[in-house]
């Protein structure tokens, strides 16, 4: 696999991260640069480590994981989205959902990177060598970091366009991403 193909895979994997990052930017009026960096690093970590894990797992578990990965991603994003929608109807002082809490960041990072695990397994199918896999891990992580930072900036800059129910919009985005993952998998395997 050449570097252009790896870069294309990295861009493809980062679409969900971009959408979720926009949600983070929408939810927070003030985002400190280091908070955004932390979120982007968490997304980049999960998005880059999962292909490496998938590659290491290889052929032996590919059918097992591919049967359930879409359901896991869907359920995680659905639950987080429903919680965000629920939070949107609570008075501001009662809200507990904060995309800058570590547990939500990890949940978002995991749920948007499950497909990267399958990509790693497919890398094992094509016998990608170790040095190329390590390069792919770096490229995927770097692209994801940049995309996450841009998504949060875009969300922050367009926040005023979405009104006062930011959590509602963010929750709907997360549910839509999870639904898309589920439908794509079912459609492709029907």
Per-residue pLDDT tens listing for the chain (190 residues): 678 888 888 888 888 788 888 878 877 777 889 989 999 999 999 999 999 998 888 756 655 666 776 777 677 778 777 876 776 777 655 555 577 788 888 888 888 888 788 788 777 767 778 888 899 999 999 999 999 999 999 888 887 776 556 667 767 877 887 788 788 878 877 6
Region of 167 (left: φ > 0; alpha: ψ -120 to 50; beta: rest) is alpha
CATH code of the region 3-188: 1.20.1250
CA 165-82-146 angle, to 5 degrees, is 75
- Coil, strand or helix: which one is 190? coil
pTM over 0.85: no
9 neighbors 119 (Cβ within 8 angstroms): yes
Domains of the chain, by residue range, sit at 3-188
Residue with tokens 């870069």: 7
- Coil, strand or helix: which one is 2? coil
How would you class 16 by CB atoms within 10 Å of its CB: exposed for 0-12, middle for 13-18, buried for 19 or more? buried
The alpha helices in the chain, defined as continuous H runs, are 3-13, 15-27, 33-57, 62-88, 102-111, 114-125, 130-157, 166-188
pLDDT of the residue at 66: 64
Nearest to 54 by CA among 40, 64, 42: 64
The contacts of residue 173 (CB under 8 Å, 6+ apart) are 19, 20, 22, 23, 81
């Amino acid at each position: 696999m050449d570097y252009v193909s790896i870069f294309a895979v990295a861009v493809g994997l980062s679409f969900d991260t971009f959408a979720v990052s926009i949600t983070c930017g929408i939810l927070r009026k003030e985002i400190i640069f280091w908070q955004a960096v932390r979120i982007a690093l968490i997304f980049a970590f999960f998005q880059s480590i999962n292909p490496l894990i998938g590659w290491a797992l290889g052929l032996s578990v590919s059918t097992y994981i591919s049967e359930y990965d879409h359901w896991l991603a869907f359920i995680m994003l659905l639950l987080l989205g429903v919680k965000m929608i629920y939070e949107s109807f609570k008075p501001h002082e009662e809200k507990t959902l904060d995309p800058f809490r570590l547990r939500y960041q990890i949940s978002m990072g995991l749920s948007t990177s499950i497909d990267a695990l399958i990509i790693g397994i497919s890398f094992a199918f094509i016998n990608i060598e170790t040095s190329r896999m390590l390069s792919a891990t770096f490229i995927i992580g770097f692209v994801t970091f940049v995309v996450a930072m841009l998504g949060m900036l875009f969300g922050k800059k367009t926040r005023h366009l979405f009104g006062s129910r930011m959590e509602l919009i963010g929750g709907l985005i997360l549910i839509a991403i999870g639904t898309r993952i589920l439908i794509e998998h079912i459609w492709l395997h029907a």
